[in-house]
């Protein structure tokens, strides 16, 4: 195997490539679990990061997606996606490996600045590489095979990410030699090595020769097409509003749990794993529902559920017993996992469905551009708002006065992070409006939310009926939404005989 594209890919070579891609997903998930997400935020908090720094840390991955714009034309001109993607991605993993030295350096503020700089480098390089790699996968894998392949890939990725996240939380909570900084160094070092193994797995995957699509057009012409496409523009507006509303809060949830509620990294990672496991376990059901009904109908149920959970964070029972409070948070995380699975599946399906196949690179990059702008602005705005709200307090009291005594009951009590949660839930109303304006095409059908809930309940019941054995349990988490494409094509072939 080499970095050169192959004119023809044999069936054995394709199967070897698929196995390599599954291994890549597992190693890449290990990298993300040990160096990103809650571990990265916890390390920043350990260095004394405030809300603005956390907001910037959360904004960098989205802003870095703007690197896909020049990457589009690099791919179109060089036309060797493997040669572009693997070296650049490997360079990003080497930066992650260098992060292992950072916790041992002196001075909190210099280390925080270096962490932010490293995050910029890692995310920019990864975004550039992903543009080439996604276009490579888009051509390599047949739509009829996506369901089984991606379900297996996602199963491994989710399992490895959950185990590694829990392990990272336990390592930091019970650090070797009593040094939390040493624990973070070990996490980053292992993440970097896993990233290099991910790149090695990608190297074993073959790349087909890029299809001819005419002369390379100017950047302005390439980018104008997705935004001029009325149907695709509605999806872009929905994605923009979703990224603004959800990422206004997302980077700060770990901060809220650790600083305001006082949980350790072990409990926080357990809540994250709860969300991810439920997300993966319900994706198959969401895929079947989106196939029978429509992706838009899935969004019509999943989006309100997500923002209802966001509003539920405002009413966390602060004075309740620790088990009750943790159970309430676990329930909210599980429901957000259910909703997040439906939203991710439906928006991903809509992006692939509404993008012309011969111009997929530009259309999918437009999604990345919208995500870069909206997802980058939201955490920055959230950090500024969180800093301002930290000195504000809103309380709504109900007072009962009688000849005997006077009683007051607190109906509403907003302090610091509760303001941000309520604001995100309010922005969710516009996201629901944007969803209603999506036109899915000739196959999309307007379906009531009640019908979607009924179908999802039936799918959940079918899943429960098959979890009495180990095989059935594993089968219930084969989730990827591309299964919908296979079922839709099968239904289309059967339609004339019906």
Q: pLDDT per residue over 380-412, tens digit each? A: 998 899 888 888 888 788 888 888 888 877 777
pLDDT value at residue 461: 41
pLDDT reported for residue 99: 93
pLDDT at residue number 145: 61
**What is the per-residue pLDDT for 460?**
45
What is the pLDDT, as a whole number, of residue 497?
45
pLDDT of amino acid 294: 78
Q: Give the per-residue pLDDT at 358.
A: 61
pLDDT at res. 217: 59
pTM of the model: 0.76
Residue 485's pLDDT is what?
40
pLDDT of residue 472: 31
Residue with tokens 């993966």: 280
Q: What is the pLDDT of residue 357?
A: 62
pLDDT for the residue 9 = 76
Please tell me the predicted confidence (pLDDT) of residue 470.
Answer: 33
Q: Which domains does the chain have, with CATH numbers?
A: 11-208 (1.20.1250.20), 219-480 (1.20.1250.20)
Burial of 58 (0-12, 13-18, 19+ CB in 10 A): buried
Residue ranges, the chain, pLDDT below 70: 1, 143-148, 150-151, 212-222, 357-361, 441-498
Q: What are phi and psi of 406, to 5 degrees?
A: -125, 130
Q: What per-residue confidence (pLDDT) applies to 478?
A: 33
pLDDT for 452 equals 52
């Amino acid at each position: 195997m080499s970095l050169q594209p192959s004119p023809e890919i044999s069936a054995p070579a394709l199967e070897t490539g698929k196995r390599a891609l599954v291994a890549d997903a597992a190693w890449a998930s290990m990298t993300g679990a040990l160096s990103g997400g809650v571990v990265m935020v916890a390390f920043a908090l350990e260095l004394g990061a405030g809300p603005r720094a956390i907001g910037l840390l959360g904004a960098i991955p989205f802003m870095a997606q703007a690197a896909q714009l020049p990457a589009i034309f690099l791919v179109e001109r060089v036309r060797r996606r493997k040669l572009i993607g693997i070296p650049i991605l490997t360079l990003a993993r080497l930066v992650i490996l260098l992060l292992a030295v950072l916790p041992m350096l002196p001075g909190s503020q210099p280390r925080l600045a270096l962490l932010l700089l490293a995050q910029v480098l890692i995310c920019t390089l990864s975004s550039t590489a992903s543009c080439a790699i996604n276009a490579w996968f888009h051509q390599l894998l047949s739509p009829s095979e996506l369901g089984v392949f991606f379900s297996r890939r996602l199963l491994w990725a989710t399992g490895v990410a959950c185990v590694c996240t829990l392990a990272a939380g336990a390592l930091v909570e019970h650090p070797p030699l009593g040094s939390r900084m040493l624990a973070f160094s070990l996490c980053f070092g292992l993440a970097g090595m896993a990233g290099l193994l991910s790149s090695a797995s990608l190297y074993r995957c073959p790349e087909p020769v890029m299809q001819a699509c005419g002369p390379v057009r100017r950047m302005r012409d390439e980018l104008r097409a997705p935004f001029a496409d009325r149907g695709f523009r509605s999806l872009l507006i929905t994605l923009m509003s979703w990224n603004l509303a959800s990422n206004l809060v997302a980077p700060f949830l770990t901060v809220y749990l650790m600083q305001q509620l006082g949980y350790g990294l072990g409990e926080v990672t357990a809540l994250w794993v709860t969300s991810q496991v439920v997300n993966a376990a319900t994706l198959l059901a969401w895929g079947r529902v989106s196939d029978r009904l429509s992706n838009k109908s899935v969004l019509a149920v999943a989006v309100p559920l997500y923002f209802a959970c966001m509003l539920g964070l405002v009413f966390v029972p602060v004075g309740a017993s620790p088990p009750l409070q943790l159970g309430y948070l676990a329930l909210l995380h599980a429901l957000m996992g259910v909703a997040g699975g439906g939203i991710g599946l439906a928006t991903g399906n809509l992006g692939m469905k509404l993008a012309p196949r011969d111009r997929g690179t530009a259309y999918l990059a437009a999604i990345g551009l919208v995500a870069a702008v909206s997802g980058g602005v939201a955490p920055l705005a959230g950090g500024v708002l969180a800093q301002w709200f930290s000195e504000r307090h809103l309380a709504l009291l109900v007072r009962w006065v009688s000849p005997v005594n006077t009683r007051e009951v607190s109906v509403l009590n907003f302090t610091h992070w509760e303001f941000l949660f309520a604001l995100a839930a309010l922005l969710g109303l516009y996201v629901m409006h944007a969803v209603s304006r999506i036109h899915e095409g000739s196959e999309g059908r307007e379906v009531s939310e009640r019908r979607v809930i009924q179908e999802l309940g039936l799918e959940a019941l079918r899943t429960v009926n098959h979890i009495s054995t180990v095989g059935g349990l594993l089968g219930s988490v084969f989730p990827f939404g591309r299964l919908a494409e296979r079922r839709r094509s099968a239904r289309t072939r059967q339609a004339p005989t019906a």
